[in-house]
Amino acid sequence: MPFIPHTDADIKAMLASIGAKSIDELFDEIPEALRAGKLTRVPEGLSEMEVARLMQARANQDGQYLNFIGAGAYEHHIPAAVWEIVTRGEFYSAYTPYQAEASQGTLQLLYEYQTMMASLTGMDVSNASLYDGASGLAEAVLMAVRAHKKARKILIPRTVHPIYRRVVYAIVRDQAIELVEVPFDTKGGHTAPESLKAYAGGDFAALVIPQPNFFGVLEDVDALTDWAHSNGMFAIGLVNPTSLAILKPPGEWGAKGADIAVGEGQPLGAPLSSGGPYFGFLACKEPLVRQMPGRIIGRTVDKDGKQGFTLTLQAREQHIRRSKATSNICTNQGLIVTAATIYMSLLGPEGLERVAAACHANTLATVAKLTGIKGVSSVFDRPVFHEAVLRLDIPVGDALHALEAQGILGGYDLSEHYPELGQALLVCATETRTAEDIEQYAFHLERVVSKRRLDPPCATKVNA
């Protein structure tokens, strides 16, 4: 029996102790009619060897591609030591540190994580993580509404990740919170501060400020933050953690700094893995700490005065406050935060800065190379971090299919969410892309674009 250690002798002795004749008898309080259901669709059990063969075949089927997609999830080098340590059983198979004395490893690590994230974002405090960046933004919105007390409307620029905007809507809509979208400047690809004038006096609780924004473009964060504050709303910075090694952290935006910083933690040591598990980070200024959702770790002393770590501010949480909790969240993404903490320790400030700068340089090199192709042009004229929007003179979907047949994932097709941009493509080149990779991409894109109106290579036609 997989993972069940009982021998026949064990079963017999245990039933005798209970005073039952069979294991089935232990279910005799359950109405007979409910015990009739048989499993029909669960397949027969396999040995580990057979499952390994199956999984390897599935993995091989998916293969490996030269990736130029970013759009919220980024391919970075992850030092070998990170997941070697993360998958140690003592981290991997422990639970939420309710028994602090038997969980000092996890608790101290989370305290170190909070320290690193607060410093990276320029904030006073950080929680111990949320599920992911998108749901983290929803929690930041709820937090701003709680703290603001009066207003229940939120300004979200269209330069925020389109899926994030949908997620926020799905999570907050039943609490009578209204999301108002702000259009972007079609020349710069940013949220023009002067365009916000239309919303002044509109009774908003917060302005969301993405940096870099979904297009990779750098927003004028100082002006946006100051505008939010001078109009009586909180400023929520939605940031990429890698970029913070070289970009001004939200805590220093404008005259007073943003109030909340939130974002997707995946770039800090989590593999792409089809979208998860990742983690969301959330940091804020001191006065908002009691409005934060999720687990928070504090440093304290034990009864001998020795330093120790414990879950704190639990009076905000569902298991104490029930219907009055700040959120229904119980878990953080502990294991992925373990990866992030080790990742940041191994890279250090200099390492993370080099990674960020290399991503930036590779993206600029990719843009320069690709826009050298006839029929490919840049869409926006403002500086970017590690992504950029390109326009093609053929349908983006066709181009991506053709590139896929050459083993290249050419980027994220923007035509569904931003039809006004025409045939637009979001490309990203992190530090993992080499000059040869970029060369290869440009070589194939040139062929694809120049063959416009002809059929794409036949290998892609099946699924087209």
How far is the first Cα of the chain from the last one, in angstroms, to the nearest whole number? 46
Window of 148-156, 317-325, 417-425, 438-446 that interacts with other proteins by CB under 8 A: 317-325
- How far apart are CB 159 and other proteins at their closest, in Å? 15
Where in 20-79 is the site for other proteins (CB under 8 A)?
A: 20, 23, 26-31, 33-37, 39-48, 51-52, 54-65, 67, 69, 71-73, 75, 77, 79
Give the Å distances, CA to CA, from 350 to 251, 346, 357. 20, 10, 10
- Ranges within 186-225 binding other proteins (CB under 8 A): 218, 221-222
Interaction between residue 179 and other proteins (CB under 8 A): no
Q: How many residues bind other proteins (CB under 8 A)?
A: 203
Which of 275, 435, 450, 451 contacts other proteins by CB under 8 A?
A: 275
> How far is residue 159 from each of residues 7, 61, 209, 215, measured CA to CA in Å?
61, 35, 9, 7
Of the candidate residues 157, 237, 267, 317, the single one contacting other proteins (CB under 8 A): 317
Q: How far is the CB of 156 from other proteins (least distance, A)?
A: 15
HSE, CB side, 13 Å, CA atoms: give it for residue 49.
0
Residues numbered 70-129 forming contacts with other proteins, rule: CB under 8 A: 71-73, 75, 77, 79, 81, 83-85, 87-106, 108-112, 114-116, 118-120, 124-126, 128-129
Q: Which DSSP symbol is given to 209?
A: E
Residue 302 lies near other proteins (rule: CB under 8 A): yes
CA 104/CA 96 separation, integer angstroms:
11
* Nearest CB to other proteins, comparing residues 129 and 423: 129
Q: Which 380-439 residues touch other proteins, going by CB under 8 A?
A: 383, 385, 400-401, 404, 409, 412, 431
Task: Give the binding range for other proteins (CB under 8 A) out of 184-192, 305-313, 439-447, 450-458.
Answer: 305-313
- Closer CB to other proteins, residue 13 or residue 180? 13
The C-alpha atoms of residue 441 and residue 221 are separated, in whole angstroms, by 33
Q: Which is nearer to other proteins, 43 or 201 (CB)?
A: 43
Tokens of 42: 């669960």
Alpha carbons within 13 angstroms on the beta-carbon side of residue 411 total 32
CA 2/CA 15 separation, integer angstroms:
21
13 lines the binding site for other proteins (CB under 8 A)? yes
Cβ atoms of 260 and 125 closer than 8 Å = no
| CB of 67 or CB of 423, closer to other proteins | 67
Q: State how far the Cα of 211 lies from the Cα of 238, in Å rounded to an integer.
A: 6
Nearer to other proteins by Cβ, of 47 and 198: the residue is 47
Task: Please give the C-alpha separations between residue 440 and each of 66, 120, 178, 408, 448, in angstroms, as whole numbers.
Answer: 9, 35, 46, 9, 12
122: tokens are 């320029």
Q: What is the largest CA-CA distance in the chain?
A: 83
Output 404 or 446, the one with its CB closest to other proteins.
Answer: 404
193 vs 50, 200, 253, 383, 430, CA distance in Å?
A: 59, 12, 14, 16, 29
| Piece of 162-170, 182-190, 198-206, 439-447 that binds other proteins (CB under 8 A) | 162-170
Q: Which is nearer to other proteins, 57 or 198 (CB)?
A: 57
Residue 259 beta carbon to other proteins: minimum distance, rounded to whole angstroms: 16
C-alpha torsion 364→365→366→367, nearest 10: 50
Q: Which residue has the tokens 């690809």?
A: 189
260 Cβ neighbours under 8 A, 6+ residues apart? 140, 143, 144, 206, 234, 235, 236, 237, 250, 282, 283, 284, 285, 288
DSSP string, 449-461: HHTTTSPPPGGGT
Burial 403-412 (b: 16+ CB within 10 A, else e): bbebebebbb
Interface of this chain with other proteins, residues 229 to 268, rule: CB under 8 A: 244-249, 252, 264
- Pair 316, 290: CB distance under 8 Å: yes
Contacting residue, 152, 195, 231, 289, with other proteins by CB under 8 A: 289
Q: Which of 174, 206, 118 is nearest to 328 (CA)?
A: 174
Among 200, 315, 368, 435, binds other proteins (CB under 8 A): 315
Closest to other proteins by CB, 40 vs 198, is 40
Nearest distance, CB of residue 442 and other proteins, angstroms: 19
Task: Please state the closest distance from residue 326 (CB atom) to other proteins, in A.
Answer: 9
Q: Which member of 149, 150, 322, 453 binds other proteins (CB under 8 A)? A: 322
Which residue's CB is nearer to other proteins, number 55 or number 200?
Answer: 55
Instruction: Choose between 106 and 379: whose C-beta lies nearer to other proteins.
Output: 106
Interaction pattern, residues 433-462, with other proteins; x per rule: CB under 8 A: ------------------------------
- Of residues 346 through 375, those in contact with other proteins by CB under 8 A are 346-355, 357-358, 360-361, 364
Judged by beta carbon, residue 45 or residue 201, the one nearer other proteins is 45
